[in-house]
Amino acid sequence: MISAALEYAALGWPVLPIVPRGKIPLTAHGLKDATTSTATIESWWEQWPDANIAVRTDDHVVIDCDGFAGKHTFGLFIGSVGFASSPYAWTGGGGLHVWYSRGDTQIRNRAGWLEHVDIRSEGGYVIVPPSVHANGRDYYWEYSPAEKPVPPLPELLRDALTSCSDSAVTVSNMLEKITIRTSGARTGSKYATVALDGETDKVRAAPVGQRNATLVAAAFSLGQLVAVGKLEPGQVAGALLGAATSAGLPATEAARTIASGMRGGAERPRSR
């Protein structure tokens, strides 16, 4: 643990010790104590040799995906841009941390930015490998920052995050406006997943002049599936917002269109 902590510090990433197999800082002032000081780090891990490691994310944007659902939602959002160029790590709980450089863009922490996806940036921290989850499983890098330097935020992601933070219509309050009553428990289906992928592909490929109409139709169609419990509203909204901004639509305009289309679809739910 101490070797890994020192390696992060050498990258200029402030670290702090975390309760073994936990996520709570061990130091008196928590996040404020994060440092790159070799002497301090050595002292901490001599005192707590099994401590997990956290990195303060002020200079980064870390996409925190909760399990497969979060990874799938973020994958749909970012589409063809992908995240193969970024270092990313698997958490002990089966989640995923995708790393980007924040640059001069102001990005705040945000829980529930998309369904099962949080944002860790200014004033936040994430647990990093080789920390150990409460279940005993290790965090590990699929591609470490030594293998792939942290890239700047893709334009798609930067625009979506800044538009949502500077606008009255955020992803979160967009979802609050989608009041869809579902019939029965959420069961999901392969058909619904294929439908979601297909509709987001249509939105991304829509030519100029037809983008908004394509987005409305997609939101309506998928809203019908949300209404019968086959898809989660946040999953649909996040995927469509990513596809729409990728196609060139402003995030705020797209968010309103998605909310409207999904509400319309929910009023005429699918029979299957």
Q: What pLDDT digit, counting tens, does each position of 26-75 carry? A: 999 999 999 999 999 999 999 999 999 999 999 999 999 998 888 887 88
Q: Provide the residue range defining the domain that includes 113.
A: 2-152
130 is a domain residue: yes
Which letter, b or e, does each residue of 223-255 get, where b requires 16 or more Cβ atoms within 10 Å of its Cβ? bbbbbbbbbbbbbbbbbbbbbbbbbebebbbbb
* Number of structural domains the chain divides into: 2
Q: What is the pLDDT of residues 85-139, one digit of tens each?
A: 899 999 999 999 999 999 888 888 888 777 788 999 998 999 999 999 999 999 9
83 and 174 within one domain: no
224 and 102 within one domain: no
186 and 145 within one domain: no
128 and 13 within one domain: yes
Which residues, listed in sequence order, are joined to residue 98 by a DSSP beta bridge?
A: 63, 88
Axis crossing angle, helix 67-78 with helix 190-205, rounded to the nearest 10: 20
119 and 21 within one domain: yes
pTM reported for the whole predicted model: 0.68
